[in-house]
């Protein structure tokens, strides 16, 4: 499976092996699609094992209970307002040694190992986390911070990021 663009991943990750179940992506701004299902994929809310029957049943209900292509995620990140992070994956084989060692049809190594490392680095906030070493602040036209500010004070603030 080709890895589509994601803000969490390097742009040079080779295709990855995936086996599992897709999940429907919602509209939350806190969701970060990491690995999307291919455009020809679909999932249906059906107890029927036949793909064609599930698609037909969903079409009879104006598409209700049917998701396809970019609406489906295989691996999705979620970051809360308190900056904790969670990763939802439709299958654990993606992160297995078996899939990391499995060659692609062209004989090259899969991107599973690099993919797993980069997803874990994001989940544990080793990457794409804003860190501030120090801050300074003071009122406009002053040099030192006061003991207390009032509501109408205009302030100047500087943040120092790690180098």
Q: Where are the domains of the chain?
A: 23-123, 131-163
What pLDDT score does 65 carry? Answer: 54
Who has greater pLDDT, 97 or 57?
97
- Across 58-79, average pLDDT: 71
Residue 116's alpha-carbon distances to 9, 12, 35, 55, in angstroms, are: 10, 14, 11, 33
pLDDT value at 126 more than 70 = yes
What pLDDT score does 129 carry? Answer: 80
Number of neighbours of residue 3 by Cβ within 10 angstroms: 22
Global confidence as pTM: 0.70
pLDDT value at 95 more than 90 = yes
What pLDDT score does 26 carry? Answer: 81
Place 121 in a pLDDT band, splitting at 50, 70 and 90: very high
Who has greater pLDDT, 61 or 88?
88
Please, what is the average pLDDT of the chain? 83
Who has greater pLDDT, 12 or 64?
12
């Amino acid at each position: 499976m080709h890895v589509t663009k994601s803000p969490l991943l390097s742009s040079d990750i080779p295709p990855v092996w995936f086996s599992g179940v897709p999940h429907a992506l919602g509209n939350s701004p806190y969701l970060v699609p990491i690995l999307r299902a291919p455009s020809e994929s679909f999932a249906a809310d059906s107890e029927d094992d036949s793909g064609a029957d599930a698609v037909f049943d969903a079409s009879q209900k104006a598409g209700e209970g049917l998701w396809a292509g970019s609406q489906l995620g295989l691996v999705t990140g979620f970051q809360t307002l308190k900056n904790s992070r969670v990763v939802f994956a439709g299958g654990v084989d993606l992160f297995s040694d078996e899939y990391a060692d499995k060659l692609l049809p062209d004989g090259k190594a899969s991107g599973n190992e690099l993919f797993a490392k980069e997803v874990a680095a994001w989940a544990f906030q080793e990457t794409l986390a804003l860190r501030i070493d120090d801050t300074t602040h003071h009122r406009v036209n002053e040099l030192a911070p006061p003991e207390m500010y009032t509501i109408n004070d205009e302030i100047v603030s500087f943040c120092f990021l790690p180098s």
